[in-house]
Amino acid sequence: KAGVTQTPRYLIKTRGQQVTLSCSPISGHRSVSWYQQTPGQGLQFLFEYFSETQRNKGNFPGRFSGRQFSNSRSEMNVSTLELGDSALYLCASSQGTGRGEAFFGQGTRLTVV
Amino acid sequence: TQLLEQSPQFLSIQEGENLTVYCNSSSVFSSLQWYRQEPGEGPVLLVTVVTGGEVKKLKRLTFQFGDARKDSSLHITAAQPGDTGLYLCAGEPPRNFGNEKLTFGTGTRLTIIP
């Protein structure tokens, strides 16, 4: 069974640009959650999608958005990038919304310069 | 809002020593998960504890869920350099809690010195 796949693994962007990150969950999993991880703030919840609907949202500005497709693949978008957006972005898939074990991808390391 | 506090935040010990890390909350969880994350990688699930008072062992790692299902501990016996990493606990909310999402703890960064 293939694991969670995140692309790209590494990304360098300049301030003001926008970026789209992709996550393919484990086959059969309908829930995808996104997290931002920085050394100072730990693992911060961004949002969760289940069956193409956003079920939960963390405390991030509107520049952070996401969506989920009918095949459960998910994308997150960050517009007008700021230096502080530099982080490891992780997605996790699970079978149910907010329940069960979360399986993480390797993450996308975003650096904003 | 459910919060999970982990302690200690940082721990650096010599190979062969024993250690315990804690995950505490004032909220009740239906289950508690433990993850280990290595640098540049995503967290990997180690174990899930479900029943209050439950103890699970994974080789040299022993996980315990508190009787009231509000806290958990991870004990490592004879620590090895391969145990180095960030340990995260995550709580699953009770059914019908309302805001159903995993709550992650603040993390314990463990370094085992050879």
**pLDDT tens, A12-69?**
999 999 999 999 999 999 999 999 998 877 889 999 999 999 988 999 999 999 999 9
Closest CA to B19 of B27, B28, B10: B10
- Pick A102's closest partner by Cβ from B90, B93, B99: B90
Phi, psi of A63 (to 5 degrees): -65, -20
Stretch B9-24: mean pLDDT, rounded? Answer: 97
Question: A65, A56 in Cβ contact below 8 A?
Answer: no
Please tell me the predicted confidence (pLDDT) of residue B93: 83
Amino acid at A81: L
Question: A93, A28 in Cβ contact below 8 A?
Answer: no
Stretch B12-40: mean pLDDT, rounded? Answer: 94
pLDDT over 70 percentage in chain B: 95
Our CA angle for A106, A42, A74, nearest 5°, is: 40
Say whether A33 and B90 touch across the interface (CB within 8 A). no
Say whether B100 and A98 touch across the interface (CB within 8 A). yes
Mutate to test the interface with A, among B29, B101, B109 (most CBs of A within 10 A): B101
Please tell me the predicted confidence (pLDDT) of residue B105: 92
